[in-house]
Chains A and B, each alone.
Chain A
């Protein structure tokens, strides 16, 4: 699975936590999520949403500011984590 082009399901989850991003504005892969309203508390909620709705669990060591910097960086981390899951179960 890839999130690099901002997967629609991923974007829908992400947008809920971006209180400064109007509904009708485009979310670009390199936009700063922090500038769009993703603080550390919102990041925790986002992680739970991702686990519930996408079934992807990020390892503790990826819980960094770098991971949550942009949709692209978070998408890459999720892709890596879900690859690991499928590699582990195949």
Chain B
């Protein structure tokens, strides 16, 4: 089971500059744990207090995960996950 994860510029310090990495997991939570094992520190940038950070957007096959279960969103072999920080401010 392999899932391609697209990494935004700001998080590429955790992936040795790679724009995309592979991960595994049957849910987004499991995938993030798998990413953390290979790219220590990245989890904290995605999750705060047990939930996805408000200003980090994660998409599975172009669907915002907030609409398909958040961290519980199910993943299948070949899915593509995209991480994008919100462009936002005050």
Whether chains A and B associate is: no
